Structure 1
Amino acid sequence: MEINDVNWLPHLKNAVPITGFGKKLSMYTIALEGWRRGLKLKFYTIDNPENKLKIRYSLSTEDREHKFESSKGDKTTELAYEICDNKFLTKEYLSKAGVPTPEGKRFSEETQDEEIINYANTLGFPLVLKPTNANGGKGVFSDIHSIESFKDALNYVRYELNYMEVIVETYVAGNEYRVVVVDNKVVGALNRVPANVTGNGTDTIRQLIRKKNSVRKGNPHLKSRNIKIDKPVTELLKANGYSLDSIPKEGEEIPLRLTSNLSTGGDSVDLTDVLSPELKKIAIDGTKAIPGLTVSGMDMIVNDKNNSGVIIEANTRPGLGGHLFPVQGKPRDIPKDIIDFYFPETKNIKRSSLYFDFNSILEPLQNRTADTVEVSPVSQGEIFAKKYIVSGKVQNVGYKVWIKRQALLRRMHGFAEDIEDGSISIVVAGTDENAINEFKNVCLEGNPKSEVSNVTEEPWDAPLKIGFEINKKRSTEEIEQLELDNIQMEKELHFYKKRYGQIKTSRFWRSTAPFRYVIDKVKNFIRSLKIT
């Protein structure tokens, strides 16, 4: 599947900083939506035994506050989280409510491999093997067709990944959908296509993966979700008669994984408008079946021919990035739906076009120089904006610094940046429309060292960051050098990953897996004694 250009929601275009890409997209976009409506926004860290940095945020009015972890707010209970965090418990609750799930069984840490293998033979192939408590598709093996492949997968999950508690269930053929439910309403549906590349007749599969990863970096959701070359990828290629050095034909689509998690290189295709009422009902019923679950991401295997589906996983913190920035299809504004649910009184408030400096918010939290950061409230009232192009002797004479001071004195937001023809582009925004229009005269005036010959104006309707910045544009040579440096770094990373893979697949590494598992258990036990 080819990746289309990113289709941005207008109010998010240029409003998502690099620090908000990837795993922070849900947190940033929900927080931004609430802040833009005038809610009080606060980011903070929480203590935990592992001393890992965990950032949370809260949104509040004068009379109440709601706390969030990514897309999960405090209206979703801890019981719901505990159920969804355990795939077997999820299966039990769904089955009791009559919600369709695949047939299968859970096996505890104490269960011997032989018992699991015997059950697999009894249940019949093809099968799925997965840990009960892993996320992001980690350790999930789908469409296992032989007992030999099952044994290899079991050894890998239990002794390489150290997930001793597993589920074995019937493999259900079909497309994998992620359906997001907010307050018992379906607000987004994706077909999550497993990682793949499309041949061009000249590049190897390894080269196609590298090129597709490069394109994915332009998508805020997929930037850090590269297609990784690991054991499941190489085994699937081998099963289909390919290797990483094979050259697929023009237009030939090569599957790289059977599981369709976006975090492992999958593609997202929006299907919200065409999702059938029957499938919507399964997702809503699945959400209702789990006590205290108010916002959910239901993973379903769907048979499009007979319009049926089964739920394979329920999530309390559904990632919103795939819905906001699908590879194909219409983006869905789920942050708006979540804020509508938590703060219904703000539904009719017009969102501001401004956004805050997320990097400056995260930095003191990440450096642990602060445990709480409150974001300055957004300017109240409608925001007006204009773009001015200033020509003349204006570059390298202190003009941009001077214009920044003038904008800040007038409580305006925006930026100034050089244009290659020697002029300067200035964008200003604020709540005083007259002041924005009159800023053209300020641009004409200029500082003592400048000589302004002309100022033209253009409308501006894109989001702007609060404050005023002087943007530095990189030269073509600088950009080319950065791209070359990036390619070199990727080559070095590939070399070390390959070497690491060779070590992990060696006979010595496999034979010592049980010993490493025991050692890890002892280490965890000693660590727990130190904590207590």
Structure 2
Amino acid sequence: MEENQENWLPHLINAVPTTGYGKKLSMYTIALEGWRRGLKLKFYTIDNPENKLKIRYSLSSDEREHHFESSKGDKTTEEAYEICDNKFLTKEYLEKAGVPVAKGKRFPEASTNDEIIDYALSLGFPLVLKPINANGGKGVFSNIHTEEAFKDALEHVREDLGYPDVIVEKFVPGNEYRFIVVEDEVVGVLNRVPANIVGNGKDTIRQLIRNKNNERKRNPHLKSRMIKVDKAVTDLLKSYGYTMKTVPGEGEVLPLRLTSNLSTGGDSVDLTDVISPELNRIAIEGTKAIPGLSVSGMDIIVNEEDGSGVIIEANTRPGLGGHLFPVQGKPRDLPKKIVDYYFPETKDYERSALYFDFNSVLDPLKNRTATTVNVAPLPYGHTYSKKYIVSGKVQKIGYKVWIKRQAMQRRMHGFAEDLDDGVISIVIASTDKQAVDDFKQVCLEGNNKAKVENVEVEEYDLPVQIGFHINQKVTVEDVRELEKEKEQIEKERDYFQKKYGQIQNSTIWKSTSPVRKVLDVIKGK
């Protein structure tokens, strides 16, 4: 089903199922990119002590296979992961390589709070306090200005959150940017802006937040990252002299939070084309400074006044969602860059317009009815597509089910759906151009209850899911057609089972058994 998807990469329009939204975006889009290039794709689960569901995937050619966890491939070593997982180790490696980092010191579990406070006072405010190995910004306190605030944060991190091993750093003013580096190239730069709304002179703050959240629901990366109205939001509004009922003026930008986390409603803004060569150099050198790190997400605080930057964190699994679907700016095709790096020989392979059903792949893994799912290989060759608009007596008479049967018999892909004006839209795709062109005649023919008056032909250049699907509600007539189709398939199954039994019991089949065994050995079965 087609939707209005502005600012999407064309090859992803309609091709990202809701199953692939949020945290699974990196996994799905890299897997899809490799599969569309003709690589073999496999999803599988791994054993772990907590018995949690952990899904991994692999891409392979005839020569080699690479395994991935989200956006992290197997060219990133375990050593690189361990270094990046420990913020102090990261800092040490960066400093040794001459890469700019914030001044600071690590305090292990054995350190007392008094020792840490003494060092903090000698370093001078403002300060940053963060755990050595927490993820997602958990336990990170930034821009601490007073001794009392530092003591409160320290107690909270070490005792309440249970992170006794901490780092104290000098706070570096500026904006935090995420740089994605693939080998020797910066392929994406993102700035995360705190949750905000823009007034229109008519709607209240409450309504503007609701409108903004509706927009976020349409973004695959932000669908589950809504702006939540909590005490932090209402307190900030109060400091402006506003309430949820206030109507901001036309064009008035109103920040709702001081932190830029996307999970609490922040916006992602692409800055790849305007970032300075010096900052790109810092990100690339920071990646090279960590042994075994080939694809990274470098978080850099940038001083907007002088353009300088310091690395505050290195990530081995950089999320791609914000770069693929930024709120502002140009989307970046990072899955292509990653597959180019792992399979450079496929760079010039024509990307197919087809995509696979991610739901049917994940379901048996989630239900634990399978530990491995191999995705069916991509049909070889260029995919041709067309849309047929069929008018006449065609709705609610089983016409769509009949069309589906015709398409599947011809091994074609696409979908059919009712439109509001009584017509049916049919998208058909195949590597056989003539078959796509000839399908117009199939649409004109119709089932025995249809009265087709006209079939208009339109070009179609959007992605198409493998198989043929019926969108929207299925009518009673459609159900009857499906039951007939099921009955026909069962008859065919019974016929072939009977024929197979006759062959197995035949004298020729039994007498040739030794020959078949030898052939199986030759084939390696």
Shorter-chain TM-score: what band?
0.7 to 0.9
User: Structure 1 CA distance, aligned partners of 2:171 and 2:246?
Assistant: 29
Offset at residue 403 of structure 1 (A): 0.3
Offset at residue 215 of structure 1 (A): 1.8
User: Structure 2 CA distance, aligned partners of 1:234 and 1:129?
Assistant: 26
Residue 132 of structure 2 aligns with which residue? 132
The AA in structure 2 aligned to 1:11 is H
User: Structure 2 CA distance, aligned partners of 1:78 and 1:236?
Assistant: 43
Change (3 A) 1:419 1:210: closer
The AA in structure 2 aligned to 1:116 is I
Offset at residue 203 of structure 1 (A): 6.0
User: Structure 1 CA distance, aligned partners of 2:75 and 2:232?
Assistant: 38
Q: RMSD of aligned C-alpha atoms? A: 2.2
User: Structure 1 CA distance, aligned partners of 2:212 and 2:279?
Assistant: 32
Larger mean Cα displacement after TM superposition, 27-36 or 264-273: 264-273
Residue 31 of structure 2 aligns with which residue? 31
Change (3 A) 1:313 1:381: same
Larger mean Cα displacement after TM superposition, 30-39 or 165-174: 165-174
Larger mean Cα displacement after TM superposition, 213-222 or 30-39: 213-222
Three-state SS of the structure 2 residue aligned to 1:101 is: coil
Instruction: Please list the CA deviations of residues 296-320 of structure 1 after superposition, one character each: whole Å capped at 9, or x if unmatched.
Output: 0100011233221000110001001
Residue 51 of structure 2 aligns with which residue? 51
Residue 267 of structure 1 aligns with which residue? 267
Offset at residue 217 of structure 1 (A): 1.0
Change (3 A) 1:365 1:272: same
User: Structure 2 CA distance, aligned partners of 1:112 and 1:425?
Assistant: 70
Residue 64 of structure 1 aligns with which residue? 64
Residue 182 of structure 1 aligns with which residue? 182
User: Structure 1 CA distance, aligned partners of 2:392 and 2:301?
Assistant: 62
Offset at residue 145 of structure 1 (A): 1.6
Count of matched residue positions in the alignment of Structure 1 and Structure 2: 471
Identical amino acids, percent of aligned pairs? 73
Answering whether residue 393 of structure 2 is matched by residue 373 of structure 1, we say: no
The AA in structure 2 aligned to 1:167 is I
Offset at residue 153 of structure 1 (A): 2.5
User: Structure 1 CA distance, aligned partners of 2:141 and 2:193?
Assistant: 16
Unaligned segments of structure 1, at least 5 residues:
475-532
Question: In the TM superposition, what are the counterparts of 1:45-124 in structure 2 within 5 Å?
Answer: 45-124=45-124
Answering whether residue 191 of structure 2 is matched by residue 191 of structure 1, we say: yes
Larger mean Cα displacement after TM superposition, 51-60 or 262-271: 262-271
The AA in structure 2 aligned to 1:279 is L
Three-state SS of the structure 1 residue aligned to 2:373 is: strand
Instruction: Please list the CA deviations of residues 243-289 of structure 1 after superposition, one character each: whole Å capped at 9, or x if unmatched.
Output: 77776555443434444332332211111111111111000000000
Unaligned segments of structure 2, at least 5 residues:
475-525
User: Structure 2 CA distance, aligned partners of 1:267 and 1:299?
Assistant: 16
Residue 403 of structure 1 aligns with which residue? 403
Offset at residue 139 of structure 1 (A): 2.2
User: Structure 2 CA distance, aligned partners of 1:380 and 1:185?
Assistant: 32
Offset at residue 233 of structure 1 (A): 5.4
Residue 490 of structure 1 aligns with which residue? none
TM-score, with structure 1 as normaliser? 0.84
Three-state SS of the structure 1 residue aligned to 2:7 is: coil
The AA in structure 1 aligned to 2:46 is I
User: Structure 2 CA distance, aligned partners of 1:104 and 1:313?
Assistant: 13
Residue 345 of structure 1 aligns with which residue? 345
Three-state SS of the structure 2 residue aligned to 1:281 is: helix
Residue 171 of structure 1 aligns with which residue? 171
Q: Indicate conservation of the 8 Å contact 1:296/1:315, yes or no.
A: yes
Three-state SS of the structure 2 residue aligned to 1:391 is: strand
Q: Indicate conservation of the 8 Å contact 2:5/2:13, yes or no.
A: no
TM-score, with structure 2 as normaliser? 0.85
Three-state SS of the structure 2 residue aligned to 1:11 is: helix
User: Structure 2 CA distance, aligned partners of 1:249 and 1:101?
Assistant: 41
Three-state SS of the structure 1 residue aligned to 2:158 is: helix
Instruction: Please list the CA deviations of residues 146-197 of structure 1 after superposition, one character each: whole Å capped at 9, or x if unmatched.
Output: 2232233333333443333222211111121111110111111112223333
Offset at residue 129 of structure 1 (A): 1.8
Residue 143 of structure 2 aligns with which residue? 143
Q: Indicate conservation of the 8 Å contact 2:131/2:139, yes or no.
A: yes
Residue 515 of structure 1 aligns with which residue? none
Residue 360 of structure 1 aligns with which residue? 360
Q: Indicate conservation of the 8 Å contact 1:182/1:337, yes or no.
A: yes
Change (3 A) 1:240 1:314: farther
Three-state SS of the structure 1 residue aligned to 2:34 is: helix
Residue 434 of structure 2 aligns with which residue? 434
The AA in structure 1 aligned to 2:172 is V
Three-state SS of the structure 2 residue aligned to 1:75 is: coil
Residue 10 of structure 1 aligns with which residue? 10
The AA in structure 2 aligned to 1:273 is D
Three-state SS of the structure 2 residue aligned to 1:319 is: coil
Question: Which structure's CA Rg is the greater one?
Answer: 2
User: Structure 2 CA distance, aligned partners of 1:245 and 1:150?
Assistant: 35
User: Structure 2 CA distance, aligned partners of 1:159 and 1:416?
Assistant: 59
Residue 278 of structure 1 aligns with which residue? 278
Residue 464 of structure 1 aligns with which residue? 464
Three-state SS of the structure 2 residue aligned to 1:403 is: helix
User: Structure 1 CA distance, aligned partners of 2:376 and 2:394?
Assistant: 33
Residue 521 of structure 1 aligns with which residue? none
Residue 507 of structure 1 aligns with which residue? none
Offset at residue 450 of structure 1 (A): 1.0
Residue 334 of structure 1 aligns with which residue? 334
Instruction: Please list the CA deviations of residues 194-215 of structure 1 after superposition, one character each: whole Å capped at 9, or x if unmatched.
Output: 3333345676656544442232
Three-state SS of the structure 1 residue aligned to 2:43 is: strand
The AA in structure 2 aligned to 1:340 is D
Instruction: Please list the CA deviations of residues 394-451 of structure 1 after superposition, one character each: whole Å capped at 9, or x if unmatched.
Output: 1111101100000001110000000111111100000111110010000000001111
User: Structure 1 CA distance, aligned partners of 2:202 and 2:458?
Assistant: 46
